[in-house]
Structure 1
Amino acid sequence: MDVLARQELPGAETLFGRPLTALEGVREILASVREGGVPALLRWTRTLDGAALGAEDLWVGPEEMEAARERVDPALLASIRRARERIEAFHRAEPVPHAWHRVDSDGLVLGQEVRPLRRVGLYVPGGRAPLFSSLLMGAVPARVAGVGEVVVATPPRRDGSVPPAILAAAAEAGVARVLRAGGAQAVAALAYGLEGVLEPVEKIVGPGNLFVTLAKREVFGQVGIDGLPGPSEVLVVADATANPEWVAADLLAQAEHDPDASAVLVTASEGLLQAVEAALARQLQRLDPQGDGVARRSLERWGKALLCRDLAEAVAWAGRLAPEHLELAVEDPWRWVGRVGAAGAIFLGHAASEPLGDYLAGPDHILPTNGAARFSSGLSVETFLIRSSLIGYSDEALRRDGPAAVRMARAEGLEAHARAVEIRLEAGGPGGADEGPAPGKEGEA
């Protein structure tokens, strides 16, 4: 991502009046919306998305949401509803932290408060493919977590409309606020707010293109983010029992996402490798007869096939690469799943095609990419929770722990830390200290 961020941005002189890199362009847009508010957001929406909106058009109204639900094919709406139910069931089954506390024999109180975020921004791509499935994958776990408000931002089409399937998914997921804005300008609106229109959110989640991802990285610290997902990826570990047509179809399914998406086969069977390559050629001809489609370009740039000595080596390679999606297209996937070093999601067996996870299996499809599964995980209920530690001292617990804290503070050269504890010990604990007027008496704030 850093390499792409530093490349010269095509059309920058037209957009910004001077040559800029992608990162510099993103920073310019962020600053513009932060300082200029709604007029700046509308200007960038007109310039970059070709949609001439007024301030009154920023939010999708409830009538438009309902009309969209009616326009969507009933069978698709039923599928969206089923997906929402499956995603919700999965996340409700997820083990999550809960508030707790305990008191020891000397009266020391320790615990945690766990509470949901108040307001979350969810970015939903709407360019090459209107990803209404990503709306479900972001909004449903937020709702399960108890988030007070989910604000969706999605780029409008040139006529200012939002794809009906996105709005139908929003209605099914209980999202009431959909902002017609995309790209870095939408991230700026979510992070910094729009005076009189939108309060800043506390966290931004959801996938996006390079400019969205760079913008999320720039506003991190002002708000939280779920991660920095890059182009999508799948790695298929397959043995001789795998169906080469199925493996080829799964590789193509990932490749069609983006010219920079990666699709990799790792196997110890040379016969399977050759059969998959032949199946890919046949299926690609049917999918892209013109020879210039996204999937073909993706495979030419990032498609790989690795031939290993045995299945153990193949699984080891998969764990090192830590892919977003890992398919174990092998006879006994449970034998190998425990040996996988890292992966965003693991699909078990020949029937578990990765697109099933994209839509309605239940687990979230907003996952770490580019090896980030080594140290991070996909979206979950816990993404939307924050924890605060609870610490309460009785007189007895203070007398027990205080001297050790004083010694440690002085060993670090922090005398004020030591004195803050020592002054309580000298007073005999809270019961012996002059704590000022009691609540409700003179001096109450």
Structure 2
Amino acid sequence: MFNLNRTIATPKLWNKKKSLQQQQPRRSPFFFLSLSLLSVLVFFFLTYTSIPKSLFSTSSKTVNAALSPQYPHCRTQIPEEKFMWYAPHSGFSNQLSEFKNAILMAGILNRTLIVPPILDHHAVVLGSCPKFRVQSAKEIRLAVWDHIIELIRNEDCRTTVWTYQNDEVDGVLDSFQPDEQLKKKKKISYVRRRRNVYKTLGPGSEAESATVLAFGSLFTAPYKGSELYIDIQKAPGDLKIKSLNKKIEFLPFVPEIISSGKQFAMQSIKAPFLCAQLRLLDGQFKNHWKATFLSLKQKLDSLRQAGSRPIHIFVMTDLPQGNWTGSYLGDLARDSANFKLYFLREEDLFVMKTAKKLALAGHGLRFESVPASLDAMAKLEKHCSPDIVPDVLLYIEETVCSCASLGFVRTAGSTIAETIEVMRKYGSCSIPTPTAW
């Protein structure tokens, strides 16, 4: 649920009126690159039981021939059109990162991107490629798509770091490899190689003949001097990819969440505030409470010396309020003379109202559609009940944090924190939105 027709404002600080951005509901897909949602849903969910395995290594003409009798609306609209798909996993921020990488890969390979639905947080867990805890690509696809796993080709992120337009030899060993102790402990027999995605999967390659090209994962992040999976930060010789990189760095949320975040900042906090994003329970973060709270304490100490009291703090944390006792958060909550804390919960009427409004807006059903699919989409829209609302708490919280004029204290290593940093960099609070509520 992103607003792609946005105007990117220059970064601004809080002016007592601005706040911004929305992320997505869990049950709706992002958007397609020139492919209707209906084509994808029907193609993968309604026809996979009757489509032969050989279909996925044949041309679009064969696809059309196979689908025409029973599903005429599933025919590809462009002769010899090629598609790319990937399996989403982990939390929303990881899935967003995968989506951005998918756009780049599809642009490089000149394939139509099939965007999968958004999954609930950790419905499918990837692991970490360089740490060799990652599930195999086959296991990820099995968890996501179940019956269609054997129909689609796949690449393994444990053995590959994808590159593009660099001077290194294709297939060279990556700088990060498992040490001998880890090889023995995990029974690892493979190595990590750097491979040029265009040469390996593009024109003239064996993979280029496949109608559907699938990745088990497209998540990447820096790790010990290398990248988990995709190392395509720059493409100086390719203006198209360079432009794509620039466009996808910041994807604003839809107006409903932007408006909601702004409203909470302006009408509930009503003052300049600090945002504290404290990830304390998930994964590695539960072992780093001391460091997380230390950075917050240092920031608050500097604010106390420089300004008036109380200091307003918006707290974004996965630690339930009932468990704050005995922690630094509990200390802050008790010291009401110096600090005023604000936070949101899933059951808050404000959050539920935002979710309802987002569901009624129907962004998940707004996409480019071929004429043949309009009747089917009308039926799909009819059966999508607005009573089934998305989980929007995280995205409202990120929007509020993007508006914190006194600063932002982040949890090191958190992808959620990285999202907020990007929102603040692009001045998401200054993006105009319709009148809220």
TM-score normalised by the chain length of structure 1: 0.26
| TM-score, normalised via structure 2 length | 0.26
Structure with larger RCO (C-alpha < 8 A, sep 6+)? 2
Question: More helix per residue: 1 or 2?
Answer: 1
Q: Which has the higher strand share?
A: 1
